[in-house]
Chain A
Amino acid sequence: MTALLIAVLGFFLVAGLYLATVTARRLAAPEDYLDGGRSLPGWCFAFAGTGILIAGLGLYDHYLLLALFGLQYSHVALGLILAALAGAILQKRLWLAARISGRKTLGDLLGAYYGSPALRVLLVILLLLFTLPFAAQSLSRLGLVVETASAGALPRTAVIWVMAVFLFLGGVIGGWRALLYVVAGQSLLLLTLIGLTAGVGAVALDWTAIIGGQLEAGPGVLAYEIPGVVQDSAGLGKEAAVGGIWTTTAILSAALGLVGLVISPAFVFLVLTTAKGRGFAVQQVWMTSGLGVGALLLLTPLIAAGLGLAAPEALAGGLVSYAAVFQQFIALDLIYAVGFALMLVVALQIPVALFTQAGASLLVIELFGRFVLPGLRDGERRFAARVALAAIYLLVALLASFAPLWSEIVGAMTLSLSLQFLPAILGLCWLRWISRAAVLTGLIFGFLLVLFTEPLGLVLFEALFVELPWGRWPLTIHSAAWGLVFNLAACLLVSIFTLRADDRAERERLHALFARDYAQRQISPALRTAIWSLVLIWAFFAFGPGAILGNSFFSEPVFAGTALTLALPSLWIWQIVFWFLGVFLVWWLAYQARLSILEEPAAETLPLGPRERGFAEAAPGFFTRILERVAKR
């Protein structure tokens, strides 16, 4: 097993290096290294974006949680459609704003639009959180997977460093464009391997127990039901939720966390470096909502069932791991065991490669190029990015090797923190009345709430001061939603008082340009209302409170008065139905409303940020009035 695993992993790593080398040889311009010439092909975005979202969902955890919580957790996969919807609403406007203003990164855009260096700094901090702990967490798990697959022959730490070196080599040679090629290829590999593993398991290892309703889950967990809309639970670590933690509120709030990935600095950098075309629409509709969610909803429950079936005693004790499944695959055929390991490795490798490379590019563009060494030439910027990449990989590998728990704790907050920038991005794209003060106030509240509903804040506060009455995710609400609710409330409240703030005129210029040159295709107000009403209704029933109906909607129809025996559990059918409806809705928004079709930006450019004000605007009002009266005389 070990030799074959090394051979296959080595082959794919060498293929990645080959692609990086070819790209580097062909692309001579230094700036291409940082941003790929801002012309990544649409297919690259479509494939890579899907892989990043599936990997961001945490495929490694996804199987384990599915095995422990059954179909109630599987519902979270529908959250990828919410992420796709968020992409449809935001990505095109972000792309347009960047192209017409000449800005290159999310921090650059938001900082200029709101005229706020604080936003830039906060985004750089978030970026470091993505690149360091989040990537370290993935790299650490990757080492663990290979160690488990090789039955300890390949130690975790050695795997971490070897992988880090290979990934670094690929990144340092090829840059952003080559990395995205590799990630796009890996995404297809990931989808293929999910299909292969589930298919082989279902046919050869009888993983279809879940279909017949014989799936065992963790102790006290309802494997085929969502355990309520919300539960009066103090949170993880303080009080166990009855029947499982994945209530409809938990599902919805966890899905919001996935939106945080779509608006993270690295993902937005990918958006901004994509060429015009239909790449966004293909990613949102067919690849993510269609293929990605389909694979997660239909195939991963089978694989998770396999984890439980391979070690029923461990599952009954509330523990589950990959070791027993590897043994089953090895007994079946070595190549399948390698395929299973490769699937997990790829899912863990994608975030490491993406966030480190984006981290290096963004650090140079945001930090070094702007504040530290603004006079750098293109070649020097490329060199700086390579040095930054080396430093990032070194730190990530060190964290993954020697502080995996710390990486898990901090990395767990990353998506929730990223989501707190949603009001700021909504303001840039659509809501002109959201002001800088509102955004910053909301961010402070949002960050605090996330911090105190995740282990980092709880552990620190309880160690330093007093015991808190709540644990992680109180009331079965994910930290992303806790932060966002308070963030939005603060943001709206402050916006009311800053409607007529001085800087509004600056922000209006961009929105006026959007309205004049980039208005959406003319659709009647009635149809527009219908679209958004349908989206809300869909969200309510897909993973809002209405999803609770799915527990028995098909097995115990309301008017039939009798229980039916179905081929699939009722909740699974519900998920599949709302998956289809979700794909249709995203298609409607992305293609029909043209929210995700990128066209050539108009020739007019608009420098964002405070423009030079003339004397008449800058001088105090009383002074100009006096001057006018004097001048008239």
Chain B
Amino acid sequence: MREQDEVYRWLDRHALVLAFWLPLGFLALALFLNGYRLTSDWLVGGAFAALLAAFVSHIIVNAVYQTFFSSRELALGLVLYLAGLLLFLFALLFGADKTQALFGSIGIGFLVLAVAVIFYLVTHLGVRRAFEAFDVISDFRRRRDERDQPS
């Protein structure tokens, strides 16, 4: 019964996270595309605000269910963030006029997201464990050692 309850809890949390990210993600996409087309700092800022709202919702879900981000969520978040950042840098380097015009709002948006993530990790885990959360090599070694240990 307890095992079944755990399954329900996992599913409930997963669905709730998606329920927040999908609408707010679409909102961010719509505002960003329109803001980019019109070269509007306000709309681009609104898009990052929507992403920030989704992230805060995710933290609230974590608090309610007394969990942390899953490794898949962390990986997906990091990949998307880095991909976005790289796109932004390439666009700047290769001289997209609109990106240069929107440098302030996009740059601040990325910065605010990064600060929000770091702030949450540090307040939630402490500085050392926050770094450890991203220490993939140690984690890999620990798992390998555990696997290799004779049972």
Binding site for B on A (CB under 8 A): 8, 12, 15, 19, 22-23, 26-27, 29, 37, 39, 41, 43-44, 47, 177, 181, 184-185, 188-189, 191-193, 196, 200, 333, 335-336, 339, 342
Contacts and interface: CB of A to CB of B under 8 A. Distances in A.
B23 A192 contact: yes
Nearest to B14: A22
Nearest to A190: B23
B8 A336 contact: no
B22 A12 contact: yes
Contact of B18 (A8, A185, A196): A185
Nearest to A39: B8
Given A15-B18, A185-B23, A335 B30 contact: yes
8 contacts: A15-B22, A26-B11, A181-B19, A189-B23, A193-B23, A200-B34, A335-B33, A339-B26
B76 interface: no
B20 A335 contact: no
A32 to B, nearest CB: 9
A26 B7 contact: yes
Interface string B10-39: 111011101110111011011001100100
B66 interface: no
Contacts of B23: 185, 188-189, 191-193
Residue among A12, A47, A333 with max Cβ neighbours from chain B (10 Å)? A333
Contact of B24 (A12, A39, A192): A192
B47 to A, nearest CB: 11
Nearest to A27: B7
Contacts of B34: 200, 333, 335-336
A192 B19 contact: no
Contact of A44 (B4, B15, B22): B15
Contacts of A22: 11, 14
A191 B14 CA distance: 20
Given A26-B10, A41-B12, A335 B19 contact: no
Interface of B: 4, 7-8, 10-12, 14-16, 18-20, 22-24, 26-27, 29-30, 33-34, 37
Given A41-B8, A184-B16, A335-B29, 10 more contacts: A23-B11, A26-B11, A29-B4, A43-B12, A181-B15, A184-B15, A185-B19, A333-B33, A335-B30, A339-B26
A22 B70 CA distance: 15
A185 B16 CA distance: 8
A192 B4 CA distance: 33
A4 to B, nearest CB: 10
B18 A19 contact: yes
Contacts of B30: 196, 333, 335-336, 339
B35 to A, nearest CB: 10
B61 to A, nearest CB: 9
A43 B8 CA distance: 13
A189 B26 contact: yes
Chain B binding surface SS class: helix
Contacts of B15: 19, 23, 44, 181, 184-185
Contacts of B22: 12, 15, 185, 188-189
A200 B22 CA distance: 19
Contacts of A193: 23, 26
A44 B12 contact: yes
Given A185-B19, A192-B24, A339-B30, A27 B11 contact: yes
A191 B22 CA distance: 12
Nearest to A4: B33
A461 to B, nearest CB: 46
Contacts of A336: 30, 34
B76 to A, nearest CB: 13
A118 B33 CA distance: 57
Contacts of A47: 19
Contacts of A333: 30, 33-34, 37
A29 B8 CA distance: 12
Contacts of A342: 26
The 7 closest A-B pairs by CB, nearest first: A181-B15, A185-B19, A192-B23, A189-B23, A41-B12, A335-B30, A333-B34
A333 B29 CA distance: 12
Given A335-B29, A335-B30, A339-B26, A188 B20 contact: yes
B116 to A, nearest CB: 20
Nearest to B65: A41
B19 A188 contact: yes
Contacts of B7: 26-27
Given A27-B11, A189-B23, A333-B34, A43 B16 contact: yes
Contact of A177 (B10, B11, B19): B11
Contacts of A196: 27, 30
Nearest to B64: A43
A92 to B, nearest CB: 21
Nearest to B15: A181
Nearest to A37: B8
A192 B27 contact: yes
Contacts of B33: 333, 335
B26 A37 contact: no
B73 to A, nearest CB: 14
A43 B29 CA distance: 26
Contacts of A37: 4, 8
Contacts of A185: 15, 18-19, 22-23
A477 to B, nearest CB: 38
Nearest to B57: A188
A265 B34 CA distance: 43
B54 to A, nearest CB: 11
A196 B26 CA distance: 10
A283 to B, nearest CB: 14
Contacts of A184: 15-16, 19
Nearest to A18: B18
A79 B67 CA distance: 39
A29 B33 CA distance: 44
A481 B24 CA distance: 40
